[in-house]
């Protein structure tokens, strides 16, 4: 009963991860955040594999999913530190999330709740010609806190998924070991049908 409950919970967690990361992927695409887009894409693939392994009782798939969740949690901790400007990180000057190929920021920077965007003219000399120079004001919630909330949710789901993935792998392994212990089908002493000869030998009289 506990194994079935843990397996169903892991399926639910995988579904939640897929729904949340797809929503996050949309907004990362809108903000041209290439590093998160790539990480989200890999995460989607591995969560699908983990979901498949859970449904089909494949411990190797679930183990790979659990290992990836450790890396995924590490990535989300980095994103949280980046937006909170921990250490030497700076969300204003570092272009890590766009691979330094554009000056785009999070989509939520201009489109957050209550945000008012004002174009500044003339633009500074250092501003690229194909970019607008703007000021954002009146936001009810700053964009970095929205990004931190997204990463925190992914972090919590990753921790829950890791715990239940380990539990399900443990249950599957124990079930296989107990099956091997009783000998599987060999314990029934099954033997295939043997061929019998219908030829009868008759005595010969000389």
One DSSP character per residue, 112-162 reads: STT-EEEE-SSPPTTS-TTS--EEEE--SS-HHHHHHHHHHHHHHHHHHHH
> Is residue 192 in some structural domain?
no
Residue 160: the pLDDT is 96
> Is residue 59 in some structural domain?
yes
Contact assessment for residue 94 and residue 82, using Cβ atoms and an 8 Å cutoff: yes
Q: How much of the chain, in percent, has pLDDT values that exceed 90?
A: 45
Band (87; pLDDT cuts 50, 70, 90): confident
d(CA 170, CA 159): 17
> Is residue 40 in some structural domain?
yes
Model pTM? Answer: 0.76
Q: What is the number of other CB atoms lying within 10 angstroms of the CB of residue 172? A: 18
Q: How much of the chain, in percent, has pLDDT values that exceed 70?
A: 72
What value does the mean pLDDT take over residues 34-40?
Answer: 92
What value does the mean pLDDT take over residues 103-111?
Answer: 80
Band (106; pLDDT cuts 50, 70, 90): confident
* Full residue range of the structural domain in which residue 79 is found: 1-104+143-177
Query: At CA 27, angle to CA 11 and CA 141, rounded to 5?
Result: 105
pLDDT at 116 over 90: no
More confidently predicted of 99 and 69: 69
Residue 90: the pLDDT is 76
pLDDT at 1 over 50: no
Tally the domains of the chain: 1
What value does the mean pLDDT take over residues 177-206?
Answer: 52
Average pLDDT, the chain: 81
> Is residue 36 in some structural domain?
yes
Residue 190: the pLDDT is 45
> Is residue 126 in some structural domain?
no
More confidently predicted of 156 and 95: 156
Q: What is the number of other CB atoms lying within 10 angstroms of the CB of residue 170? A: 13
> Is residue 190 in some structural domain?
no
> Is residue 116 in some structural domain?
no
Handedness of CA 152, 157, 160, 163 (dihedral sign): negative
Band (205; pLDDT cuts 50, 70, 90): low
> Is residue 172 in some structural domain?
yes
pLDDT at 134 over 90: no
d(CA 36, CA 203): 90
Band (31; pLDDT cuts 50, 70, 90): confident
More confidently predicted of 164 and 199: 164
**Residue 195: both structure tokens together:** 């061929």
């Amino acid at each position: 009963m506990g194994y079935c409950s843990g397996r169903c919970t892991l399926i639910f967690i995988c579904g939640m991860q897929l729904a949340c990361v797809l929503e996050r992927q949309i907004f990362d695409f809108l903000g041209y955040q290439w590093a998160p887009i790539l990480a989200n894409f890999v995460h989607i693939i591995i969560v699908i594999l983990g979901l498949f392994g859970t449904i089909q009782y494949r411990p190797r798939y679930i183990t790979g999913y659990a290992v990836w969740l450790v890396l995924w949690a590490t990535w989300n901790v980095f994103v949280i530190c980046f937006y909170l400007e921990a250490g030497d990180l700076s969300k204003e000057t570092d272009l890590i999330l766009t691979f330094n190929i554009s000056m785009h920021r999070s989509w939520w920077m201009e489109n957050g709740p209550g945000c008012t965007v004002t174009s500044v003219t003339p633009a500074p000399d250092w501003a690229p010609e194909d970019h607008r120079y703007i000021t954002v004001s009146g936001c009810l919630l700053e964009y970095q806190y929205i990004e931190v909330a997204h990463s925190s949710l992914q972090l919590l789901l990753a921790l829950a998924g890791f715990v239940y993935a380990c539990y399900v792998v443990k249950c599957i392994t124990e079930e296989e070991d107990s099956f091997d212990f009783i000998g599987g089908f060999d314990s029934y002493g099954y033997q295939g049908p043997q061929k019998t000869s219908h030829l009868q030998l008759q005595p010969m009289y000389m």
